[in-house]
Structure 1
Amino acid sequence: MPIDMKTLKILWQRLVTPEGDTCERCGSAHDAIVQVMPTLRDVLRPLGIMPVLETREIALDAFKGMPSESNRIWIAGRSIEDWLDASVGKSTCCSVCGGAECRTLEIGSETFEAIPEQLILKAALLAAAASLGAGGDEGSGCCVQQPGCRPGA
Structure 2
Amino acid sequence: MAELRIRWQRLVDDAGKTCGRCAGTGDEVQEAVDLLRVALAPLNISVIAESSHLGEAEFAQDPLESNRVWVAGKPLEEWLKVQTGQSRCCGPCGDNDCRTVSVAGRDYEVVPKELVVKAGLLAAAELITPSE
Please give the alpha-carbon distance, in whole angstroms, between the structure 2 residues aligned to 1:116 and 1:37.
Answer: 12
Unaligned runs of 5+ in 1: 134-141, 147-153
Q: Which runs of 5+ in 2 are unaligned?
A: none
Determine which structure has the larger strand proportion and give its number.
2
| Residue in structure 1 matched with residue 55 of structure 2 by the alignment | 59
What does the per-residue CA deviation read over 1:34-63, in whole Å, with 9 as the maximum and x for residues that have no partner? 212221111101001001111101001110
- Contact 2:30–2:49 at 8 Å: present in 1 too? no
Percent of matched pairs sharing the same residue: 39
Query: Take 2:117 and 2:98, find their aligned partners in 1: how far apart are those partners?
Result: 22
Q: Which has the higher contact order (CA 8 A, sep 6+)?
A: 2
Query: 5 Å matches for 1:121-136?
Result: 121-132=117-128
TM-score between the two structures when normalised by the length of structure 1: 0.82
Q: Which residue of 1 aligns with 2:116?
A: 120
**Number of equivalences:** 132
Matched, 1:71 2:67: yes
Q: Distance in 1 between matches of 2:68 and 2:6?
A: 10
Structure with higher helix content: 2
State the Cα deviation string for residues 55-85 of structure 1 (Å, max 9, x = none): 1010011101110000111101111001111
Matches within 5 A, 1:1-153: 5-132=1-128
| Large movers: runs of 4+ above 6 Å | none
Query: Partners in 1 of 2:33 and 2:8 — Cα distance?
Result: 13
Q: TM-score, normalised by structure 2?
A: 0.94
Higher alpha-carbon Rg: 1
The alignment's C-alpha RMSD in Å is: 1.5
